[in-house]
Amino acid sequence: MVFSAKQLADFLQGEIIGDSDVTVNNFSKIEEGKPQTLTFLSNPKYTHYIYDTKADIVLVNADFTPEKEIKATLIKVADAYEALAKLLELVEKSKAQKVGVEPLSYVAQNAKVGSEAFIGAFAYISDNAIVGDRCKIYPHVFIGDNVTIGDNVTLFSGVKIYDGCKIGNNVIIHSGAVIGADGFGFAPQADGSYHKIPQLGNVTIGNDVEIGANTTIDRAVMGSTIIGEGVKLDNLIQVAHNVEIGKHTVMASQVGISGSTKIGENCVFGGQVGLAGHLKIGNQVKLGAQSGIMSNIKDGEEIIGSPAIPINNFYKSSVIFRKLPEMYKQLGQLEKDLNEIKEGNSQNK
């Protein structure tokens, strides 16, 4: 598809600085800009690339002021990154959409599949499952008995949805994710063995959730493991049984959440954060990468470290940590000096 700067500016309600007739047919990164492509600048670290980029159109924030001449046409918008997302979404929606049931897939006779849905080859839809309108079920997806899936849901190849789970509207689940596997529940026995505790609950996923590749969300022992509306989970995340994640919380890769922990709304977790079980995490909490969380956290706190501490204390501690070798050396010298003084005093008695 080919778009002119004027068409893009009209769509984004932006201001053109340069040639309004210049056209683009693809996207590129600003440091690798190519002719006839559109790029964007939102991170100040990349500002120097804008003066040499070969891209013909650059989206910039409305407050951007160039320090020297720029060859590319600029489109000033309120938020360049958000504007790029709108354009990418527009291109994605313009692609041809697959519809229908491919050969070699299996749909149980008592399952229900909505209108304009796509069921890829080797997908398996079990008894009493419900798949909503305009869903995309790619090859090798498994949907268990009594699963309910809303409208406009995309399940990429290899997703597994266990029995009884409920998926809302506009959900995207990437390849290899497993929703509703048994939680890690075992009762220790007198002889040192472990007896499996049946996991009788399910997983409930709200609207507008996105779940990354190879992420696993365990079913509840009783009741539901709950993923709230608008939650975004990266690849390789583990969510244990009976966990609850509040609306619009986001988590980066390799976060691990132990059983029955409750997480509030609008939280942000960095990569490799680990949470102990049965905790309560408030709303708008931010956890830095690799934080180890062993206790409850109140609303709005920013925590980092393992064991985790408030972020300002962590930065102060980091400064001290870097000085430890020097401080250890000084302590040794002080100890030596003190011993010499003690010896001198004892000889003078």
Which residues are known to be catalytic?
241
| Strand residue runs (E) in 174-228 | 178-181, 186-188, 194-196, 202-205, 210-211, 216-218, 224-227
How deeply is 337 buried, as exposed, middle or buried, from its count of CB atoms within 10 A (0-12, 13-18, 19+)?
exposed
Q: What's the CA gap between 345 and 291, in Å, rounded?
A: 50
Q: For residue 230, what are the contacts with CB-CB under 8 A and spacing of at least 6? A: 206, 207, 208, 209, 247, 248
| Cβ(5)–Cβ(21) below 8 Å | yes
| Cβ(131)–Cβ(151) below 8 Å | no
How deeply is 280 buried, as exposed, middle or buried, from its count of CB atoms within 10 A (0-12, 13-18, 19+)?
middle
DSSP state of 88: H
Give the angle subtended at the CA of 263 by the CAs of 152 and 256, to the nearest 5°: 85
* Maximum CA extent, the chain: 102
| Cβ(200)–Cβ(241) below 8 Å | no
DSSP state of 44: G
Nearest to 301 by CA among 326, 261, 252, 264: 264
Q: What's the CA gap between 159 and 144, in Å, rounded?
A: 11
Nearest to 7 by CA among 85, 73, 82: 73
Q: What's the CA gap between 135 and 114, in Å, rounded?
A: 8
Q: What's the CA gap between 155 and 141, in Å, rounded?
A: 7
Reply yes or no: is the peptide bond before residue 188 cis, omega within 30 of 0: no
